[in-house]
Amino acid sequence: MQTLPVDTDLDLCSITPAGGARALLSSLVNGGTNNLTVLSGGKQTFASGATLSVQGVLAEAVQNAVTAGVTHSVAGATALAPGVAVITTVSTVLDAVKLPILGQIGQRVRIINNGASNAGIWPGETATSSIDGAGTNTAVTLTAANGALFIQNTASTWVSTGKGPKSS
């Protein structure tokens, strides 16, 4: 059984159920007959015999004009949600943001640091999570004018790719 992310736009997806005709996923959810089930929490699932094709672009949520917390600690770091976060204010070196709490493996946060200084990036759950092997409850640095993609790759770790984060 496949599961689509909660924020998947059903108007952009089409599905061909096993033995059925292709249709927009939103049409099938909204009264069509197929092997599709809508679960609580907004997740859509379909049997493994179905195929899914996406037409268009799946958009990510964007947090614009993020101000990094000034405490230089996880306690005062600005919390981020999965998607894209554009940091515009980093007043002092290592003003901080923190990744979302650990959730589904594969969740992603793309962080762009447009602030004037380097930003500290903290794991969202400091007691159990780490970033790039830097150790539990340890921030990494995202340099000014750079961005990085953070991906939750296990139940307790994040990895990053792209420009930027270097362990502090």
Residues 90 and 155 in one domain: yes
- Residue 61 is predicted with a pLDDT of 85
Residues 76 and 119 in one domain: yes
- Residue 131, domain CATH: 2.60.120
Separation CA 77–CA 81 (nearest Å): 13
> For the chain, what is the domain count?
2
Q: Is the pTM of this model over 0.75?
A: no
- Residue 141 is predicted with a pLDDT of 94
Give me the domain span that covers residue 157: 62-167
Both tokens assigned to 69: 């917390």
pLDDT digits (tens, 9 = 90+) for 76-127: 999 999 999 999 999 999 999 999 998 888 899 999 999 999 999 999 987 7
User: How many other C-beta atoms lie within 10 A of the C-beta of residue 7?
Assistant: 12
Q: Is the Cβ–Cβ distance between 7 and 61 less than 8 Å? A: yes
Q: Quote the strand ranges of the chain, DSSP E.
A: 2-3, 13-16, 23-24, 36-38, 44-46, 51-54, 62-67, 78-79, 83-89, 95-98, 108-113, 119-122, 130-131, 140-142, 146-152, 157-161, 166-167
Q: Is the Cβ–Cβ distance between 107 and 82 less than 8 Å? A: yes
Both tokens assigned to 132: 């790039």
